[in-house]
Amino acid sequence: MRSILAVLVSLMLASVVSAQSRPAPPDDFPRFIVPGQETALTSLRELYWLHYQPPAGPLATLWDDWMTSPTLWPAVTTGGRSDALRQAWAHTLLTRHIDPDGYVATHQHASIAHQDGWPFPFWGDAGTWGHHFSLQHVPPGWHGTAEQNQDGWEILGGRDLGIENAAWNIRLTQPGAGVRTPSTINPAFKLGILAERAPFLQLRWRATGLEKAQPYVEWATEDQPEFSPERRFYFAPVSNPAAKRVTTKPESKNPHLQAPITYTMIPVFRSPAWKGHITRLGIHFDNPGEATVGIQAFFTQYDTRHNINNQNFIRGSAKYFWWTRDLNFLRNNLQRMRLALRYLMTDLGGEREKCILASFPGHDGRSGFTRKPDGTKELHPGRSIGHNYWDILPCGYRDTFATLYYYDTLLVMARLEAEIAAHPEWNLPAGPLAVDPARLIAHAAEVKAYANEHFWNPATGRFILGLDVDGKFHDYGYTMVNCEAIHHDLATPEHAESIMSWLTGERTVEGDDATGEDIYRWRFAPRSSTKRNIDWYCWCWNAPESIPYGAQVQDGGAVLGFSYHDIMSRLKVRGPDDAWSRLTEIAAWFDEVQAAGGYREYYKDGKRGTTLQGGGTAGGLGLDAEFFESILVPQVILDGFLGFAPRADGFALNPRLPSSWPELTVTRIRFHRTVLSITVKGGSIFIDSEGTIPWPTFVYLPAARYRVAYGAADDTTDSDTDARTVEVAAGQGIPVDLGNNRRLILQKK
């Protein structure tokens, strides 16, 4: 299996290369058809294809919500693409690692950070420590250290076999053998390890003969220099299923050295004795007889877990099910989704606090440095760690982003649980993890009320990123959280209007550096922030003033993909004409970009005022490389103007066309087991289906009176034979028959 890093690198390179020539979608790629708007919609289709084409697909957990729908609904038979993506998503979501507590792993690329978290920050600061006998499978630039030998290490009851096959190997000749670090764990820092900067130890190792063992780490401190049973912490042996995932292959001919390397995270922060200054570490293997171990690395690590993974995994899984109606997938994943939700409700404080906390060690929402009166900085390693996409921002201990995703997740799971309850014939598991949908909806209302009270800054009329552990906040005009709050319906109508008046320049926030038209300085999306930030970052990004405002994605730059939330917010608050005006500007910008030779050529050498980020370089704009979410922008046509939303028993439609559009057609929509083409014209909706769906299917429309009829395929006329008039209440679906070479016609009366 290819490593996640290799997949990501290939994706980055493919995106960079593909952006250098005009995209040419195949004939069976969906089309957006509006008479008189061919130029703009052709450009948006090409933009879509540019970010859809291989090898785009499942990525790290962060993208589970954003990438599912855009890659699942196009019915692209060319190269078997559509089927391959469905299979890839099913496999990825079913194999997302969930730890015994219910935390969903990040699945980002390799490094020496927490294996279930983000790939940085990794140890390397004063007060941390690590020893790597081999850096196998850690890419350059993602470790900040060097390989070392075993000099100074103490073996208790064993024999040194030397460094071979990417590890230091020891034959344990006596029961209860172990190893200890050199007598001074870090000569360059006399106090050794600071426990508060080292919440985890990671042991990368292999072993044979420890099947029944109960190994543990032990430590000495500056105040208590001798090892003691009072300072021990147990962990699972490598043969135990609770041990970390295997990541390497054996290469040695020696049978004792052929076991693969396993990465074991040891959460020593849970021990009340893990405090102060750690001066020495030991590993006790608890072997009952002779055994062999190989240590690849032993080091401290920060907690780099994310508090948005569970929400994105749940929402991505639900979207996969709604697009495919794959009952086998849901049967195998449902309890995992419920466990992930329970973790949010309990461990991350959702049910108790009415918001999501960043309760991992070091995620306190405070800045990683403070400025002294003389202008110098005091760094605070170990705090201010990020926990989402905006990875150098501390965000908040009480986290707005994680909370708004939690709010949406509650509603997603409420709908899914209601669908399951309505279909006992699906034979899906229940049990103690299931939650009553009514309870989830009521709790979602509590979360919304909390967010609009505590995460709202009345002085600026917008949401903040969160509150730090001291209850303080920093408001730099973060457009991304505000647009997403509107899109996910977290914002009240009054707050949504306040946000939109700020974004459109109708009102100016005092102290902002970008106001009015300058908020859209980069044309394709609003700036990520409208106020210069040189004070509120992780300690690992401690010289922000060295980069101009707008030259860093998280400080006045912009990300193409999140223009989706901006436009969807405009559609909700200001209507379809306003949303279309913004989208046409993006289409015009994209035409200029392609005429210049693609993203990289267009912004080459900063000639447009800033540079691109991606593929290992910092910059102000996120368009290609690791910015996979760029695929979101064209989804406004399907999700917004057509108002299409898949469901387990059918789909919803809520068309909202701009006044300049006489009609809209979207083709090649792969839904369940059919392919749809949908046209909205006047008060009528025409639906053609290639194939049939062998279970009852419903279309959900806004409450009104409708005439339901069928006509010949591709014909706007119908026969009165099967016509009927129905009164549709809110949330009520119309039973329909798709396929059979007939066109479904729905007319509002």
Q: Are residues 42 and 136 in the same domain?
A: no
Q: CATH code at 290? A: 2.60.120.260
| Mean local confidence (pLDDT), 166-193 | 87
The residue written with tokens 């995270």 in the block is: 265
Q: Are residues 339 and 372 in the same domain?
A: yes
Which pLDDT belongs to residue 455?
98
Q: Are residues 63 and 164 in the same domain?
A: no
- Asked which of 301, 323, 343 is the last residue of a domain, the reply is 301
pLDDT tier, 12 (very low <50, low <70, confident <90, very high otherwise): very low
Per DSSP, what are the bridge partners of residue 663? 681
C-alpha dihedral sign at 641, 646, 650, 652: negative
Q: Are residues 421 and 502 in the same domain?
A: yes
What is the percent of the chain where pLDDT is above 90? 86
Q: Could you give the CA distance from residue 486 to residue 499 in angstroms, rounded to a whole number?
A: 9
The residue written with tokens 């989208």 in the block is: 583
Q: Could you give the CA distance from residue 423 to residue 688 in angstroms, rounded to a whole number?
A: 27
514 occurs within a structural domain: yes
The answer to whether the CB of 156 falls within 8 A of the CB of 177 is: yes
What is the percent of the chain where pLDDT is above 70? 93
Checking if the pLDDT of 256 tops 70, the result is no
Q: Are residues 340 and 481 in the same domain?
A: yes
- Tell me the backbone φ, ψ of residue 721, rounded to 5 degrees: -60, -50
Element (H, E) at 84: helix 81-94
Q: Are residues 590 and 683 in the same domain?
A: no
| Mean local confidence (pLDDT), 615-634 | 91
Nearest Cα to 34, choosing from 738, 439, 587? 587
For residue range 460-476, list pLDDT tens digits in order: 999 999 999 999 999 99
19 occurs within a structural domain: no
Q: Could you give the CA distance from residue 545 to residue 206 in angstroms, rounded to a whole number?
A: 45
pLDDT tier, 259 (very low <50, low <70, confident <90, very high otherwise): confident
409 occurs within a structural domain: yes
Which pLDDT belongs to residue 606?
87
Q: Count the Cβ atoms, other than its own, within 10 Å of residue 351.
A: 15
21 occurs within a structural domain: no
pLDDT tier, 1 (very low <50, low <70, confident <90, very high otherwise): very low
3 occurs within a structural domain: no
Q: Are residues 469 and 595 in the same domain?
A: yes
Nearest Cα to 691, choosing from 712, 665, 671? 671
Q: Are residues 556 and 455 in the same domain?
A: yes
> Which amino acid is located at 270 in the chain?
R
Q: Could you give the CA distance from residue 181 to residue 174 in angstroms, rounded to a whole number?
A: 19
Q: Are residues 729 and 603 in the same domain?
A: no
Which pLDDT belongs to residue 14?
41
Q: Are residues 250 and 195 in the same domain?
A: yes
Q: Count the Cβ atoms, other than its own, within 10 Å of residue 278.
A: 26
| Mean local confidence (pLDDT), 275-291 | 96
With a CB cutoff of 8 Å and minimum separation 6, the contacts of 594 are 22, 23, 43, 46
- Asked which of 301, 320, 345 is the last residue of a domain, the reply is 301
Per DSSP, what are the bridge partners of residue 555? 552
Q: What residue numbers bound the domain in which 374 lies?
A: 38-100+306-637
N residues, the chain: 749
Checking if the pLDDT of 114 tops 90, the result is yes
DSSP string, 179-232: EE--SSS-TTSTT-EEGGG-SEEEEEEEEES-TT---EEEEEESSS-S--TTSE
Q: CATH code at 715? A: 2.60.420.10
For residue range 391-430, list pLDDT tens digits in order: 999 999 999 999 999 999 999 999 999 999 999 999 999 9
Q: Could you give the CA distance from residue 87 to residue 91 in angstroms, rounded to a whole number?
A: 6
Q: Are residues 522 and 584 in the same domain?
A: yes
> DSSP class of residue 408?
H
Q: CATH code at 386? A: 1.50.10
26 occurs within a structural domain: no
Q: Could you give the CA distance from residue 98 to residue 317 in angstroms, rounded to a whole number?
A: 14
| Mean local confidence (pLDDT), 249-273 | 80
Beta strand pairing status for 612-613 and 621-622?
parallel
Q: Could you give the CA distance from residue 380 to residue 569 in angstroms, rounded to a whole number?
A: 38
- Asked which of 301, 328, 355 is the last residue of a domain, the reply is 301
The number of distinct structural domains making up the chain is: 3
pLDDT tier, 716 (very low <50, low <70, confident <90, very high otherwise): confident
736 occurs within a structural domain: yes
Checking if the pLDDT of 11 tops 70, the result is no
| CA count, 13 A, side-chain hemisphere, 746 | 28
pLDDT tier, 16 (very low <50, low <70, confident <90, very high otherwise): very low
Q: Are residues 242 and 323 in the same domain?
A: no
Q: What mean pLDDT value characterizes the chain?
A: 92
721 occurs within a structural domain: yes
Which pLDDT belongs to residue 650?
97
The answer to whether the CB of 677 falls within 8 A of the CB of 28 is: no
Checking if the pLDDT of 47 tops 80, the result is yes
For residue range 329-386, list pLDDT tens digits in order: 999 999 999 999 999 999 999 999 999 999 999 999 999 999 999 989 999 999 999 9
Element (H, E) at 452: helix 437-454
| Mean local confidence (pLDDT), 501-518 | 97
